[in-house]
Structure 1
Amino acid sequence: MGAVLEKTMRIGLLVGMEDTFPRALRERVEGRADDVTIEVIALEGTGLDELSDYDVIFDRISHEVGYYRSFVRHARLSGTRVVNDPFLVGSDDRFFDAAFAERLGLSVPRTVLLPQKSYPDTITPASLRNLTWPVPFARHLEAVGTPALLRPVGSRGWRHATRVTSLDEFMAAYDRTGTETMMLQEAVPWSRYVRCIVVGGDRVIVARYDPEYRQYLEDADYLEPALEERVVHDAATVAAALGYGICAIEFAIVEDDPYAVEFVNPVPDFERSILTPFWFEKVVEATAEYLVGLARLGRETLDLQKPRGGGLIASVTELSSPGGAGGEAPAKKKASTKKKAGNTR
């Protein structure tokens, strides 16, 4: 009898309310890798000099739990690979992502960042001397066009987006936003809509998606091959440039031109009931393969003198050039400025 390969590499799961996804992921990893173990992490407090027990941590919840966030950041000091990097998650926003994607060569809706409607009591008029008043709301709406969407910069999804078709509607919606930082964005008239799950930076699952009801729809041949190639390239480019191992990006198809309209969700919901069985199996398989591959790489050797951030400007230049992430970009159709009938959400 041959020797049994010792299980040396460890993957730890940091989970939240999801149930079907972590269970299926554990079964898939255990079924494909004799040299990798996977388990749900048990925590009771963390000492300053503790070393992480894991080669990889797959983090699904630290963006909502402060202790978990500090724990996974601390684990990075042991060389543990964390998906997604806790120093990146939460550091960007919709407006930045849109500007970033545009500089990478993607099509994005016209967008304007707006000053907040109101501020906490600790902010005084002296704190706002850089703002001019009145804010030229009419000019901003004219620049974006109607219909438009008033959307929070920070939160993900479409729940808090308000569709406006006039200056009066825009101002009424803006007056209800309180201290939330908002942006005004063109509501592009799309005919088809997809949500891309990017795994490992280069594997892209392109799913038909209904943004209004937040439903995945089973349709494997929804996009023509050339258009799907373009979407895959664009999604992989943005994910790689922003440094996410796993994320979701949404595209609205306007006259066969994919517009990146919902940026990067680093912790999309992977429950079976949300993804549907068809897409669930694809996501579980891709994630298991990615995490096992990361674990087999072993821990990272960290350069503690290197800044935690940096590299973004270089990555824009590198990834927007031919041969960047996903290879040479497919030919991009020139966007039309003519308004056509179609969905705008």
Structure 2
Amino acid sequence: MAESLKVGLIVGREWSMPPALIEEIRSRNAGVIAEFVKLGGTRMNEPVPYRVIVDRISHEVPYYRTYLKNAALQGVKVVNDPFMWTADDKFFGASLAVRMGVASPKTLALPNKDYVPGIVHDESLRNLMYPLDWDWIISYVGLPCVLKDAHGGGWKDVYVVHSKEELLARYNQSGRLTMIVQEFIQWDEYARCMVLGQERVHVMRYDPRTRYYAPEHGFSTELYTRLLEDSLKLCRALGYDMNTCEFAIKDGVPYAIDFMNPAPDMDIYSLGEVNFRWCVQNMADMCIAFAKGEGMTADRYVWRSHAKVTRNV
């Protein structure tokens, strides 16, 4: 009897999705099993016992990100691609969206407020104009506007500001974060779309003020189709196999507000039972397909051929 293919999970504090996913994969009897990855230091080119690894926490545990890059080099399919996740930011994403025909709020990247020790402002920052022209910045995005961390997630360091004074005050508290300032879309409706495997899309009606997911989305067929198509465009371009795309909908137009969520919320108490079950079942479908498929994270990179990377078994 052939040995089962393995899916490994790297997780943080979340408790509801990971064990449910492990059990769902086990119950399929598809020749694939799932388990939690155990790590205690990694040797260079160390073999990896998994065909697929699902990463839920490496954005907060840097060693895991380093391990996952090695796993990709050994031919593992990593969800999500640790190289793209490391490189991504919300300013690049906004610009990318517009170039692909996806509506996005006007977005402007700001110089950092503070820097690492050793940066001498009048010597190390000669390419920067100072002081910043805040009137010029506001003339582009308008007021109110949204100030947020270009690399952030989970609604951390996100501020809706209503005046130049408030914008300056929030910016002055941003430290070393790279902040973007974005046009505020006064939305009529709001959607969060779960996208898995760059193929499966679950459109959810969401209220970011109360963090509430409705059990049914209730969007028109035309709007639903636009949300689905735009979500696929974004995730396929970025190469994310597990992501949520958020849209602020105004006058029937969905504006892509945030789609850099490579470890999306899948907690049962956040999503509700209906949305949670969709995530677990479709995550299992995706993981089993990836485990049995030929694809590798390395497929996207030039170094694959130079390093002679082959599919991990």
TM-score, length basis structure 1:
0.83
Contact 1:6/1:34 (8 A) holds in 2: no
Question: C-alpha separation between the residues in 1 aligned to 2:236 and 2:129?
Answer: 37
- Residue 14 of structure 1 pairs with residue 32 of structure 2: no
Superposition deviation, residue 216 in structure 1: 1.9
Residues 311-322 of structure 1 mapped to structure 2, 5 A cutoff: none
- The correspondence for 2:171, drawn from 174, 177, 185, is 174
Show the counterpart of 1:130: 127
Contact 2:191 2:205 in 1 (8 A): yes
Match of 1:198 among 169, 173, 195: 195
1:33 to 22, 25, 29: 29
Distance 2:166 2:137 in 1: 14
Could you tell me how far 1:139 is from its partner in structure 2?
1.2
Q: Distance in 1 between matches of 2:275 and 2:297?
A: 35
1:213 to 196, 210, 213: 210
How far off its partner does 1:121 sit? 2.8
CA positional deviation for 1:213? 2.8
Give the drift of 1:49.
4.0
Aligned residue for 2:310? none
Match in the other structure for 1:44: 40
Sort the Cα spacing of 1:302 and 1:193 in 2 relative to 1 into closer, same or farther, 3 A: closer
Cα distance in 2 between the residues matched to 1:78 and 1:183:
36
Pair 301,111 (structure 1): closer, same or farther in 2 beyond 3 Å: closer
Question: Post-superposition shift, 1:208?
Answer: 1.1
SS at match of 1:42: coil
Q: For 2:257, what is the secondary structure of its paired residue?
A: strand
Give the equivalent residue in structure 2 for 1:101.
97
SS class of match (1:155): coil
1:79–1:300 Cα contact (<8 Å) kept = yes
Measured in 2, the distance between the counterparts of 1:106 and 1:305 equals 26
Task: Give the drift of 1:45.
Answer: 2.5
Give the Cα separation in 1 of the matches to 2:159 and 2:63.
Answer: 34
User: Which one of the candidate residues 152, 165, 172 is aligned to 1:155?
Assistant: 152
What's the CA shift for 1:299? 6.4
Match of 1:39, as an amino acid? E
Q: CA deviation at 1:42?
A: 2.1
Deviations 1:202-230 (A, max 9, x none): 2111111111232322224x210111100
Aligned partner of residue 82 in structure 2, secondary structure: coil
Amino acid at match of 1:146: L
1:290 corresponds, among 277, 286, 289, to 286
Q: Which runs of 5+ in 2 are unaligned?
A: 305-313
Distance in 1 of aligned mates of 2:175 and 2:262: 26
Q: Is the 8 A contact 2:195 2:232 kept in 1?
A: yes
Question: Are the counterparts in 1 of residues 45 and 74 from structure 2 also a CA contact under 8 Å?
Answer: no
CA distance in 2 between partners of 1:121 and 1:45 (Å): 30
1:74 aligns with 2:70: yes
Tell me by how many angstroms 1:147 deviates: 1.3
Give the letter for the 1:23 counterpart: P
Please report how far the alpha carbon of residue 302 of structure 1 lies from its aligned counterpart in structure 2 after TM superposition. Answer: 5.4
User: Given that residues 80 and 300 in structure 1 are in contact (C-alpha distance below 8 angstroms), is that contact kept between their aligned partners in structure 2?
Assistant: yes
Whether contact under 8 Å (2:53, 2:76) holds in the other structure is yes
Measured in 1, the distance between the counterparts of 2:46 and 2:189 equals: 50
CA distance in 1 between counterparts of 2:155 and 2:68 reads 29
Alignment of 1:216-295 (within 5 A): 216-220=213-217, 222-295=218-291
Shift in CA distance, 41/138, structure 1 to aligned 2, threshold 3 Å: same
Question: Which structure has greater helix proportion?
Answer: 2
Q: Which moved more, 1:164-173 or 1:123-132?
A: 164-173
> Contact (CA 8 Å) 1:158, 1:211: kept in 2 or not?
no
Task: Say which SS state the counterpart of residue 274 (structure 1) adopts.
Answer: helix
User: 250-259 or 66-75: which moved more?
Assistant: 66-75
Of the structure 1 ranges 154-163 and 234-243, higher mean CA displacement relative to structure 2 is found in 154-163
Q: Sequence identity, in percent? A: 39
Alpha-carbon distance, 1:298 to partner: 4.5
Change beyond 3 A, Cα 1:122–1:232? same
Say which of 61, 74, 92 aligns to 1:65.
61
Tell me which amino acid in the other structure corresponds to 1:131. Answer: L
Name the SS for the 1:288 alignment partner: helix
